[in-house]
A and B are shown apart, each in its own frame.
Chain A
Amino acid sequence: MIDMLEFWRQSLPQLLTGYRLSLLVTGASLFLGIPLGLLLALSLQTRSTWLKLPSLSVVEIGRGASILVLLQFVYFGMPSVGLTFSSFASVTIAFTWCTAAYTSEIIRAGLESVPQGQREAGEALGMTRLDILRIVILPQGLPVSVPALLGFSILMLQASSLAFVVALPELMSKAQLIGSNTFRYMPLFTLTAILYAAVCIPATIVVGFLERRLSRHF
């Protein structure tokens, strides 16, 4: 037991450096992906086929293909068409894609929760479509999406553990590295699990709290 704690103490700094990278790559993907998700949600609502069709493909591929396959496609596949990305860039691209695809659905549901009468009131006041969106729809629709977006963010942090397949030195890679040197997998992955859970459990509790608060408003 003491032995295990000592092992944890030794591995922790390395794991934490990896964890910082996990959080960074997750943050970058969310930061880029969620605004893209909003754009996709909006272009899926338009009547223009020119916008709708490409957006729909982006969403369906992002949601339909496994995120791991998406990641490998970017990292191992794109070089054959002359696009070579670093592992960090590859993870960010693949995860941004995935984030945009999933959050577009979340955001769409939020925007659709705004009653039709709100849009009509804006129209009757002679506001432009952009103003209605900016002033009436988004301020009411986006807060509805927040709990689900946060829930999705938790899943993305977890998914960042897949980045080790492209050798991004994040938490999981570090754990594997230490593991292959020490062969002490059990305590090592237990610590890794605890590190992920230490962020995800509180976050999940917050999501539940937000959801309950939101449902009370309706």
Chain B
Amino acid sequence: MPEDDALMHILPSQTSSGSQRVMVEVAGLCKDFGAHRVLDNIHLTVDPGEVIAIIGPSGSGKSTLLRCINLLERPSAGAIRVGDVEIDAFRKITRRELLAFRRPIGMVFQSFNLFPHLSVLRNVSIAQERVLKRSREEADAVSRQLLERVGLGSKADQYPARCSGGQQQRIAIARALALEPELMLFDEPTSALDPELGLEVLNVMQELATAGMTMIVVTHEMHFAESVSNRVIIMADGKIIEEGPSVQVMRSPHSERAKQFLGAVLNR
């Protein structure tokens, strides 16, 4: 039964790359905190190269969904597949499986979460050395290249505290990209930033999208949702209440709840 459900939710619109397998498949995902059901039977598929924006009122479970997708939160029920690795909430996940599952996923947090005791360069290099077993020289070379790409080549030897919020978030993106992810998760990457600094970050993200990265972005940036993402998902009360091609969802949503939410945010 959940299988059928999952199939129903695959939208044909964005599967341009035809024969390629879907990148992310979430089926029947539920998450409870105590008696509180925060995610309620979520189904979601993401094709390679797709950019998905998740919007919705505060507390609707957007962050929780994202955190379940890389298992920072353990799902209470359901299954998640990313690339070739699939996990099921009812089966115990070994530590090795957990690492394998997370391997292709990069994540960017609202609060950056850079390591404050390491230089910018070390922040980007450290996981390459530990996870990809690159040598320090190799890792540093990759890091410098990535920092250049996000426009921060000159900051390599600074400490994160000496960088602006926008710069820190771009460093965090470089740190995640250094592990060559196939999927990038962004949890409100610009919410902690002034609009101007947010723009720096959004530009980097847009570039990334253009380059073909598969991305799931929880955001309050309605412009980003409409113009950069291919597909928009609106969540409320732990459920997906609206889903479809960006422009269609943003301009002419079907459900009342979605209309109400969009009305509230767009008229601000």
Contact = CB atoms under 8 A, between A and B. Distances in A.
Interface in B109-166: 109, 111, 113-117, 126-127, 130-131
Interface residues of B, number: 23
9 shortest interchain CB distances as A-B pairs = A121-B113, A124-B107, A125-B127, A117-B113, A126-B102, A126-B131, A131-B130, A139-B117, A126-B103
Contacts of A28: none
Contact of A117 (B99, B105, B111, B176): B111
Interface in B242-259: none
Contact of A120 (B99, B105, B106, B113): B113
A170 to B, nearest CB: 39
A136 interface: yes
A191 interface: no
Given A117-B109, A118-B113, A118-B115, A124 B72 contact: yes
Nearest to A140: B117
Contacts of B127: 122, 125-127
Contacts of A126: 99, 102-103, 127, 131, 179
Given A118-B113, A124-B102, A140-B117, A129 B72 contact: no
Interface of B: 70, 72, 95, 99, 102-103, 105-107, 109, 111, 113-117, 126-127, 130-131, 175-176, 179
Contacts, number: 51
Given A129-B95, A131-B130, A123 B113 contact: no
Contacts of B113: 115, 117-118, 120-121
A135 B72 contact: no
Contacts of A117: 109, 111, 113
Contacts of A135: 115, 126, 130
Contacts of A115: 113
B109 A120 contact: yes
A80 interface: no
